[in-house]
Structure 1
Amino acid sequence: MNLLASKAQLRASFLRWSLFLVPLIVLLGFLAGGLGSPNTLWFQNLVKPDIFPPPVWFGIVWTVLYVMIGLSLALVVSAWGAYGRGIAIIAFALHFIGNLAWTPVFFGMQDMVSALYVMVYVIVSLLAVIAIFWRVRKLAAVMLLPYLAWVIFAAVLNYQFIQANPDGGADMPDGAVERIEL
């Protein structure tokens, strides 16, 4: 049975889901960021690609993107009775696991090649999520486009880190090695 809701009910549902999902997405991003850090000796000694932006921008951009991601997800989750809603939520969850995995793989495990594979998964799964969201709520899909642009940029940056540091950053001063096991 399909339930129809009034516009006011849908707005109220969106608001409730937004108040829950936006902080949750931001918190999960923050927690994943705590599993690896660019403040390690390993990262500080890597050769930085020319397109590497000032580090302060990463926190700003990710915070804005996580808010947009949370709002996009809230649009879909609050779309009661919409065809494809359930599969959209599952696809998003599977995608977002990859998003959260990149930081611990790149910074925590200090494995740039595996991190690039994770980023390819993030891009491909995000394209699927955007296509599925489009069928549920077009605005939700459109809201993910800046996120897609950023993860494509991140993949290019990840690739350039690999090119600039073919030894994986293993050639550290005084033979120091800094690895974090997860």
Structure 2
Amino acid sequence: MKLNNFFKLIITVVISELAGLIGAVFTTPSISTWYATLPKPALNPPAWVFAPVWTILFALIGIALFLVWKQDWKVVNPLWEKGRKAWNPWSERLWTGDLQRFNTIAVFAVQYLLNIFWSYVFFGLHRPGAAFFVIIALWTGILYTMINFYRISKLAAWLLVPYILWVSFAGYLNYSIWQLAPAAPQTMYCTQEAKLCPDGSYVGRSGPMCEFAACPSPVTLAVLSATIGQKVSGLGVTLTPLALLEDSRCPADVQCIWAGIVKVQVKIQSGAGESIMIFELDKPVTGSAEQIILAEVLPQPKGGVKIKDNEYIFHFEITKRPEAPAATSGITGYIHMGPTCPVERIPPDPSCADKPYANASLVATNAEGRQYKDQTDADGQFRLMVPLGRYTIKVSPINILPRCEEKQVEVTTKQLASVDISCDTGIR
């Protein structure tokens, strides 16, 4: 089917404008985002200029393509053909021989694809450096296309002059932006290691230096609510209100000269041991690793209305204290028992010397009533890690005897205090 010139013109213009439409897929999303943030050189036009300029240029390219197609790709303006031999048989065929038409179409197609590829590299990949080398290849392809078109239609070649001038200007902008833009950070690949955090979670390496990510911030406050006999836990501490000892709060509908107090007996269990403490409203109880406050007691009393024990709700606040030096301070000791022979011998008989008290249970209680429990080994030795403070050590006998002395010991430095405890077997 032979096409008339009108349809040829429509086809060539549409083909040319199609390059702009394909390039716009990469260009449009980046103009107002990534491109807007780049440092610009002098003479940089406003962003709105690009669309109409390229539309006009693609139309001129389409008309130029139509003019050479109209001439059936035949050379009518010989150029550099007289008085010169081809470099080789292939170049001769491409310039004046049977491949001349293929040469013209192929070079046009290459610069056409390079035009689209530049939009992809610059706006799609955000790589101004790589795009600059693409635009150099594009400029070369346009120049070669102009030479080929000139041999067929001088007007077609002149119609491409605005195109090559604009691409030259675009090359200047591309190079300037490449030089002004900050260097992209190098991709760093980190080893797949993991660090165990205090809360039991794991974090991996990340960031430009492959450092370990920060561990999650530890929870330092827990708010618990419990009734009499109800067990609640938070931050490694378990609280069980045992009994209401006193509630002398002023009723809400009565004017009093004293606010009154609330006292409740509470069992405290944690990794440091177990104790029973008396809590008063708004008065903190401090342990080795936490501070506990009875923050609120509900319901509020009313005049003439008695609150039943099972109606009370106690609100506790547990605050994690900074790490106490429990891991570096404590008490070490030796518990022994004697006499082991019914008659004291002179000189002393080594077989009747005091023996180690093995598997003896002991409790160290500090001034705040906090208890720390341990048990002796087969040699009667024990090692109890506790915070700084004064402690009373009691030994609980397995049977009625032996009867062991109580010892007072003070842990004053980040070291182990030593104590020797003697137990009476009752042998006489």
Q: Same-fold call, TM > 0.5?
A: yes
Residue pair 1:32, 1:100 contacting (<8 A) in 2 also: yes
Q: Does 1:15 align with 2:31?
A: no
Residues 19-34 of structure 1: pairs in structure 2 closer than 5 A: 19-34=10-25
Q: Does 1:78 align with 2:70?
A: yes
| Equivalent position SS for 1:82 | coil
- Aligned partner of 2:60 among 54, 68, 77: 68
For residue 110 of structure 1, what is the aligned residue in structure 2?
Answer: 126
Q: Which has more radius of gyration?
A: 2
Residues 1-182 of structure 1: pairs in structure 2 closer than 5 A: 13-37=4-28, 38-39=30-31, 41-80=33-72, 82-83=74-75, 84-168=100-184
Determine the C-alpha separation between the residues in 1 that align with 2:17 and 2:73: 27
Determine the C-alpha separation between the residues in 2 that align with 1:45 and 1:124: 30
Residue pair 1:48, 1:161 contacting (<8 A) in 2 also: yes
Determine the C-alpha separation between the residues in 1 that align with 2:73 and 2:62: 20
Give TM-score, length-normalised by structure 2: 0.36
Q: Deviations over 1:24-79 (max 9, x none)?
A: 21122112221243335332221111221011110010000000000001111221
Which stretches in structure 2 are left out of the alignment for 5+ residues?
Answer: 76-99, 186-428
Residues 137 and 17 of structure 1: is their aligned pair in 2 closer, same or farther, counting only changes over 3 Å?
same
Q: More helix per residue: 1 or 2?
A: 1
Determine the C-alpha separation between the residues in 1 that align with 2:175 and 2:73: 42
Determine the C-alpha separation between the residues in 2 that align with 1:142 and 1:72: 8
Q: Deviations over 1:57-106 (max 9, x none)?
A: 10010000000000001111221261344421121001111011111100
Residue pair 1:95, 1:122 contacting (<8 A) in 2 also: yes
Residues 162 and 81 of structure 1: is their aligned pair in 2 closer, same or farther, counting only changes over 3 Å?
closer
Task: Give aligned-pair identity as a percent.
Answer: 31
RMSD over aligned Cα, in angstroms?
Answer: 2.1
Residue pair 1:76, 1:85 contacting (<8 A) in 2 also: no
Determine the C-alpha separation between the residues in 1 that align with 2:170 and 2:158: 19
Deviation at 1:128, TM superposition (A): 0.6
Determine the C-alpha separation between the residues in 2 that align with 1:165 and 1:75: 41
| Equivalent position SS for 1:41 | coil
Which stretches in structure 1 are left out of the alignment for 5+ residues?
Answer: 1-8, 171-182
Q: Deviations over 1:112-167 (max 9, x none)?
A: 01100110001011111111111111111110000000000000000010121141
Q: Which runs of 4+ in 1 moved over 4 A?
A: none
Deviation at 1:107, TM superposition (A): 0.8
AA of the residue aligned to 1:33: A
Determine the C-alpha separation between the residues in 1 that align with 2:174 and 2:168: 10
Determine the C-alpha separation between the residues in 2 that align with 1:27 and 1:115: 20
